[in-house]
Structure 1
Amino acid sequence: MLRNEFKRLLDSTLSPHRFKDYAPNGLQVEGKSNIERVVTGVTACQALIDAAVAHGADAIFVHHGYFWKNEAPEITGMKYRRLSALIKNDINLFGYHLPLDAHPVYGNNAGLADALGLQGERRSLQAGLPLEEAIGVVGELAQAMTTQSFKGLVEKAVGRDVLLEAVSSKEIKTVALCTGGAQGYIEQAYLAGADVFITGEVSEQTIHIARELGMHFVAAGHHATERFGAQAIAALLQEEYGMDAIFIDIDNPA
């Protein structure tokens, strides 16, 4: 597939024009014009680039790419080494941040909601935003669960131990979630009527807020909760477009 055609495919799928983001969405580093082999991953770290080079990839697709707002503009040190490896190996880098969080089918939040078995119609965590633009979703479990049973469900979904702050003995039925570093959305989760809020990270104040609101809280890992989108895009490219696409997981405990 030609690079421009591949970019149009990703843009039409993920609709980056809907979002005001912290980094450019789309083609971030230009490589060869024809793309046959794609590696997807969470973050465009050196280890992922090295794995893509070893795999003979023509393109890398990630959730966390480059050129974030307020980052240093100089191309030195770690940034130079990463960009140099991409350019020397003629590899395209595509990054999609908020669009990959929000997509109702291929997004990180959708993937985690599916893994937890949330039932029925999901709604936006952010009041007033349509689901396809929402950074965070709210849904229902098929039946209420104890906090410890729910903790086990989340751990199975993300493949790691998670932090649970169970604020009471109240069972969990309504789940609000927002993957990654979204602990700041905890009060919106409460206003949405959630019994529990799941995100990737936790800050010191998050626990106090959960306790004072009387809402359970789970921190399941930034990386662990944001693997779903890159995995889904690899599957889409394989199954719908017949491309050689593979997800490579560079483990990160954060």
Structure 2
Amino acid sequence: MKRIDLISQLNILLEPHTIRDFCPNGLQVEGTDNIKKVVTGVTASQALIDAAILQKADAIIVHHGFFWKGENPEIVGMKKKRIAALLKHDINLIAYHLPLDVHPTLGNNAQLAKLLDITYEAGLELGSSKSVPVKGILNTPLTAEEFAQKIATVLNRKPVTSIVRDKKIESIAWCTGGGQGYIDLAAQQGIDAYLTGEASEQTIHSSREQNIDFFAAGHHATERYGIKALGEYLANEYHLDVTFIDIDNPV
């Protein structure tokens, strides 16, 4: 498949032009024009790049790429080593951040809901057609302790919790990755629980003082599934050779 055609199809699928982001979405580092072997992963770390080189990949597609707003723009140190490896081996780096979070079927939020048996109802950011945090219901209401155990079993990651209610969870809001700041929106809408990847010190106070159960299941652990689903879609739709490589991260 030609690189230009792959990027075109990904842009049609993920619609990056419809959402404001903190990084460029799409092609970030140009490599070979012909793409047959693709490696997918959560983050364009050196470990993932090295694994892709061993796989003789033509392209790496990730959720967390390069060139974030506010970072040092100089191509030095760690960044220089990563980009040099990509250029040396003529590997394309393609990244989709928020567009992959919000995709209604392949996205991180959608895939996490599927794994945890949650039904999506609406965006949490009222009035936004591309709300990053979302809300819905647990198909089987669970106590907070039961839900924490389910997260640990399904994601293989024991969550950080703040359990403040003595009733079963029915309504829930969630945002994969570093979405802990949205807990206040969930509390304002009277939702029983909020699930995300990370926790900040103030998040626990928000949970306790607004009577909303909270679960932080890991940034990496909650965002493995969107990029994996995207790779499976590309393999099925375009007959590309796609391998998902999970470079574990405890955060």
* Cα distance in structure 2, aligned partners of 1:34 and 1:144: 49
Equivalences for residues 1-254 of structure 1 within 5 A: 1-119=1-119, 121-130=120-129, 133-254=130-251
Q: 1: CA distance between counterparts of 2:189 and 2:237? A: 36
Change (3 A) 1:156 1:192: farther
Distance apart, 1:194 and its partner CA:
1.6
Question: What do residues 100-136 of structure 1 show as CA deviations (whole Å, max 9, x unaligned)?
Answer: 11101110011111111113x5210111112xx1202
User: TM-score, with normalisation over the residues of structure 2?
Assistant: 0.98
Distance in 1, matches of 2:77 and 2:138, equals 47
- Residue 63 of structure 2: SS of its match in structure 1? strand
Unaligned 5+ segments in structure 1 are: none
**Offset of residue 191 of structure 1:** 2.4
Structure 2: which amino acid aligns with 1:152? Answer: Q
CA–CA separation in structure 1 for the residues paired with 2:233 and 2:156: 22
Q: Structure 1 length normalisation: TM-score?
A: 0.96
For residues 156-205 of structure 1, give each alpha carbon's deviation from its aligned partner in whole angstroms, at most 9, with x where no partner exists.
23221111110121210111000111110001111233211001110111
SS of the aligned residue for 2:215 comes to strand
RMSD: 1.0
Q: Which amino acid is 1:33 matched to?
A: D
**Distance in 1, Cα, partners of 2:50 & 2:36:** 18
CA distance in 2, matches of 1:44, 1:188: 31
Distance 1:44 1:172 in 2: 36
List, as ranges, runs of 4+ consecutive aligned residues in structure 1 with deviation greater than 6 Å: none
d(CA) in 2 for partners of 1:164 and 1:34? 46
Fraction of identical pairs, as percent: 51
- 1:7 corresponds to which letter in structure 2? I
Structure 2 Cα separation of the partners of residues 115 and 125 of structure 1: 20
